[in-house]
Amino acid sequence: MVETETTRDGRRDEATRDDRQDEATRDGRRDEATSGEATPDGADTDETAQGETTNLDSVERHLESRLPDHPAPGVSVALVDGGETVYAAGFGERDAERGAPATAETIYGIGSATKPITATAVLQLVAEGELSLSEPVSTFLPAFGEAPGEPITVHDLLSHTSGMPPDDLATVLLAEGAMGIDLPAGPTADDWPSFSEHVAETASERQLDGRFRYYNTGYTALSRLIELVSGTSFRQYVRESVLDPVGAERATFDGSVIDGTTDAKTDAGDTRTDAGDAVTDVMRPYRQTEDGRLQPASFPDSPLLDGPGGLLASVRDVAAFLGAFTGEAELLSAELREQLFEPVGVMDTLVDGTERGYGYGWETRQFGDDELLGHSGGTGVSSAYVGLLRERGVGVVVACNAMASPSPTTLATELLAVYTGRDPDRLLPERAIERKARAVTGQYESTSGLRAAAVEWDGDRLQLEFQSPIDRETVAFRPASPDPDDYTFLADDDEERRRAVFEFHDECDGEHDTSGEGGDDSGEECRDSDGEPDGNSEAVTLHIDWSVLHRVDTVPDGDSEGATDDPRETE
């Protein structure tokens, strides 16, 4: 994958770097970032040939190294700093069949990355006194009154703490609308009366423990609530109250801009809406087949998806929305912004032991000395991530026209780290853990050859399959610590606390050290270009259950690249 002015095989067109910078941000704001004034305080910066300092050069280098082999046909990226979009560019093709390039203006389906926008619209009604966060939702949608326990409130739906079960309604709508899959079972709803019936039928499954449960249907309900309170359609309210004030002119909930009418496609790959309006620079969605190929697909268009994940927008549009939380433009008061971001429930615990929370439409997690607010999204045929560093006021948007790995979440967090002058592997503990896990994958044998182990990384745990003449078992291990230099792994759910310890030998081509002491005393280890243990060439010893096994071959660990990404990105 290549930037807009580069052909897909990596050969440059005649465009110069200055031309590419102008294309990346047509309004000239790219120049502000290169002046050094937009560089975050305290960040390490890169020195340019002119003696200036900027982290945007590091961002571009990172993208150039990360995207060439990215499986999605097109990827677009935007960065926000201090309320201004300081970088925006497209890579690859928005429509591979026509060779149409992806740009910063390309419209993508952003899936659940819509939720921060829906939550903002709800809080605007709160600010106007039209709605209360403690208001029972059943006041407007009586079906929720069928649920046991205290009334479900607006607060509960915004924070996914209502106790209502994940009901797969959005999954069904996406599977049928985007992937053409006719599911034999599952919830069905195609209008508001059938939606109410669906809620009433599932209300009895509500859990009353107050825990976080991702409930897409709750955001569908919120979109309907906005309509009933405001007296206008959800789409119109969000357009007038959220999108227009920040200048997100191309953003829309009209799915026909993706598929258009049957004969709407032009030679440039543009579309027309059902009303006949021309829409340029729109993604063609792609879905992955069972054999791993990407093929063009349709796009889901249902009002029931609007609130939880129906927005179509360019990265520049979404960056403008982010800018309202970091610059002078305001969609909400400072008090309501804090309420929007403050975590209510705990989504899960990351591999380093830190918790990932959820506020009103925003996921929260630690990001070094800052807090990362964000949300991923996916439609089955496109994916996106929107993120914002709470203290620094730096934001990122990444969108693709496929569900692909590395995901937008992975790319976005890497870019935030690079832009703020920090090492992604050190800042994101899951990166360091995955890297050290991949370094020890392979086939292991004892000196006698009677014991063997296959070690694979599944994206979440290290899977060790042990074999001996009398036994065979597979055990999942997790890292003992986030320390990138600690290669000790502990068995999951094992009262005996079995330990698997991997040691890298000092001599790449030397004999195995059967003593378990880890090689000679030279103190020199085989390292890759980044100074990390080279899992492809270095001799590795595995110590477990009084056994010592030596790696005899490295094996690929499947297509698990990026498998640690959030499964909610498919909704």
Residue 89: strand pairing partners: 77
pLDDT band at residue 432, thresholds of 50, 70 and 90? confident
> Which pLDDT value is given to residue 434?
80
- 338-359: per-residue pLDDT in tens? 999 999 999 987 766 778 999 9
**pLDDT band per the 50, 70, 90 thresholds, residue 29:** very low
Query: What confidence score (pLDDT) does residue 556 get?
Result: 45
DSSP 3-state of 529: coil
**CA atoms of 387 and 420, how far apart (whole Å):** 14
- pLDDT band with cut points at 50, 70 and 90 for residue 409: very high
Q: What angle do CA 156, 157, 161 make, to 5 degrees?
A: 50
Checking if the pLDDT of 3 tops 50, the result is yes
Task: Name the phi and psi angles at 86, rounded to 5.
Answer: -100, -10
What local confidence, expressed as pLDDT, does residue 452 receive?
94
Q: Does the structure show a pLDDT above 70 at 119?
A: yes
pLDDT of 5 strictly over 50: no
Contact present, 261 and 274 (Cβ < 8 Å) = yes
Mean pLDDT value across residues 271-280: 56
Q: Are strands 394-400 and 383-389 parallel, antiparallel or unpaired?
A: antiparallel
**Mean pLDDT on 142-169:** 93
Please report the pLDDT score of residue 215 as a whole number.
93
Task: Extract the tokens encoding 194.
Answer: 């059938």
pLDDT > 90 fraction of the chain, expressed in percent and rounded? 52
Burial of 293 (0-12, 13-18, 19+ CB in 10 A): exposed
Across the range 153-164, mean pLDDT stands at 97
**pLDDT: is 167 or 234 the higher one?**
234
| Residues 374/362, Cβ–Cβ less than 8 Å | yes
Torsion of CA 121, 410, 348, 321, to 10 degrees: -10
Please check the confidence at residue 1 and state whether its pLDDT lies above 80.
Answer: no
Residue 243 confidence (pLDDT): 96
Residue 278 has what pLDDT? 61
Round to whole Å and give the CA distance between 375 and 28. Answer: 28
Q: What is the pTM for the complete model shown?
A: 0.75
Question: Is the per-residue pLDDT at 14 higher than 60?
Answer: no
C-alpha 249/C-alpha 27 separation (Å) is 15
Average pLDDT of the chain to the nearest whole number: 79
504-531 residue pLDDT tens: 976 444 443 333 333 333 334 444 545 5
Containing H/E element for 246? helix 244-246
**pLDDT recorded at residue 164:** 93
The pLDDT tens digits of the residues spanning 305-334 come to 999 999 999 999 999 999 999 876 689 999
Q: Smallest Cα–Cα separation from 177: which of 6, 298, 305, 309?
A: 298
**Which of 233-247, 350-364, 430-444: highest mean pLDDT?**
233-247
Q: What is the DSSP string of 370-418?
A: EEEEEEEEE-SS-EEEEEEETTTTEEEEEEESS--SS-HHHHHHHHHHH
Residue position matching structure tokens 């029972």: 136
Rounded to 5 degrees, φ, ψ at 115 are -55, -40
Q: Check residue 498 and give its pLDDT.
A: 87
- pLDDT for residue 570: 40
pLDDT tier, 134 (very low <50, low <70, confident <90, very high otherwise)? very high
pLDDT value of residue 50:
34
Other Cβ atoms within 10 Å of 525 Cβ, number: 17
- 495: confidence class by pLDDT, cuts 50, 70, 90: low
What are the residues whose beta carbons fall under 8 Å from the beta carbon of 36, sequence distance 6 or more?
45, 52, 53, 54
